[in-house]
A and B are shown apart, each in its own frame.
Chain A
């Protein structure tokens, strides 16, 4: 048996969050999510948390596990010693128990125009845009984001500066900027090259460290900074290049 210490918060009954202990069986192949499900099914049906796929692809189950942003479905009990502390993802308001308010993230994702703005229009009848495997590779890793928000929980800048657009949003914008079929970089720069965009990043790098999909948002952000800088120089020193 092992112990979980879980943050509980019900706005209708609690003035503020409190911690609650549960004892759950220890199994070699269990993850923290399995332990939480055990709690909900057998010990305390009032515990609320998000989950679905149990295979690290839906992004629902991001939580702070022993102070680190992790996916509950990929955090094995065998990785931990002693009491396991489970809290909602940092830097987001707590709705209830382990459920956070995600509105800020969803809003920011939408702001960066994360959709293909084709460089050239092509009628459907003419078939697919050509894209070589090498061109696909240039943006592939940035397309792997599962929107789990672990990066936002890890980023102290986001914690300190709530207006910061944040790692995943910028990485997603970068994904489209790098796509050979896309011609919308100028439009996206408005958002991601602004102060609240890439320039609020001081390259802590925590986002890339915690990302379960190895998207490397930190790398994406620095690349956005470089492009933004070059844009500025071109605009001011070589205006004839319009």
Chain B
């Protein structure tokens, strides 16, 4: 009669939880961005390698960078990087409850970006 009556039922989680609410979709996109950022890093390393191989290899690499596939990838990567950075900066106050910390991150980002663009000869 006893304990046999109890039979707690454990529900499977599966993978569909991602779509149960927009917040989980946003979260997975944020996490997913790491694939693009990682991919971008690999391309940069590959570029360095090609640079070391000499001007011919380097030109070929630059050619590839201009290809539609590469452009598409880089646009997506930029989008994900922006998404990743802004979600990260917006969440920072939770970990570091210091006044204006979010703003400081954005300001720092803007400053570094301008510096990079300057040294790249954009201005």
By a beta-carbon cutoff of 8 Å, the part of chain A in contact with chain B is: 9, 11-12, 16-17, 67-68, 90-91, 93-95, 101, 156, 159-160, 202-206, 208-209, 216, 218-219, 222-223, 225-226
Known: A202-B31, A203-B91, A219-B94. A90 touches B11 (CB 8 A): yes
**Hey, which chain A residues are within 8 Å of B7, CB to CB?**
11
- Contact in complex: B17, A159 (CB < 8 Å): yes
Instruction: Given the known inter-chain contacts A11-B9, A90-B11, A159-B17, please indicate yes or no for A219 contacting B95, CB distance below 8 A.
Output: yes
Residues of A within 8 A of B24 (CB): 156, 204, 206
Q: Are B11 and A219 in contact (CB under 8 A)?
A: no
B11's partner among A12, A94, A216 (CB-CB below 8 A) is A94
Q: What separation, in Å, do the CA atoms of A12 and B3 have in the docked complex?
A: 11
The 6 closest A-B pairs by CB, nearest first: A222-B95, A11-B7, A93-B8, A219-B94, A94-B9, A159-B13
Q: Are A219 and B10 in contact (CB under 8 A)?
A: no
Complex alpha-carbon distance, A216 and B91, angstroms? 12
CA distance A159 to B14 in the complex (A): 10
CB <8 Å contact, B95 and A225: yes
What residues of B have a CB within 8 angstroms of the CB of A93 in the complex? 8-11
- Verify B97–A219 contact, CB threshold 8 A: yes
Most central of A203, A209, A225 by chain B CB within 10 Å = A203
Question: In the complex, which residues of chain B have a beta carbon less than 8 angstroms from the beta carbon of A202?
Answer: 31
Is the beta-carbon distance between A11 and B13 smaller than 8 angstroms? no
> Residue B66 at the A interface, CB < 8 A?
no
With A93-B9, A219-B94 already in contact, the answer to whether A67 and B23 are too (CB < 8 A) is: no
Whether B96 pairs with A226 at a CB distance below 8 angstroms is yes
Within 8 A of A (CB), among B1-48: 5-11, 13, 17, 20-21, 23-24, 27, 31
Inter-chain pairs besides A11-B6, A93-B8, A208-B94, 20 sampled, C-beta below 8 Å: A9-B9, A11-B5, A93-B10, A93-B11, A94-B8, A94-B10, A95-B6, A95-B8, A202-B31, A203-B91, A205-B91, A206-B21, A206-B24, A206-B27, A209-B23, A222-B94, A222-B95, A223-B94, A223-B95, A223-B96
Q: Return the chain B residue nearest A9 by Cβ.
A: B9
- Contacts of A216 on B, CB cut-off 8 Å? 94
The chain A residue sitting closest to B14, CB to CB, is A159
Question: Quick one: given A67-B21, A204-B27, A205-B27, are A91 and B13 in contact (CB under 8 Å)?
Answer: yes
* CB atoms of A67 and B20 under 8 A apart: yes
Q: Are B8 and A101 in contact (CB under 8 A)?
A: yes
When A156-B24, A159-B17, A204-B24 are in contact, do A12 and B96 touch as well, CB less than 8 Å? no
Q: Roughly how many angstroms separate A117 CA and B14 CA in the complex, as a whole number? A: 41
Set A17, A90, A205, A225: member contacting B9, Cβ < 8 A: A17
26 CB contacts below 8 A, A to B, read A9-B9, A68-B21, A90-B11, A93-B9, A93-B10, A93-B11, A94-B8, A94-B9, A95-B6, A95-B8, A101-B8, A156-B13, A156-B17, A156-B27, A202-B31, A203-B91, A204-B27, A205-B23, A205-B27, A206-B23, A208-B94, A216-B94, A219-B95, A222-B94, A223-B95, A223-B97
With most chain A CB atoms within 10 A of its CB, the pick from B6, B9, B11, B21 is: B9
CB-defined contacts of A101 to chain B, threshold 8 Å = 8
Smallest beta-carbon distance B19→chain A, Å: 10
Q: Which residues of A contact B20 (CB under 8 A)?
A: 67
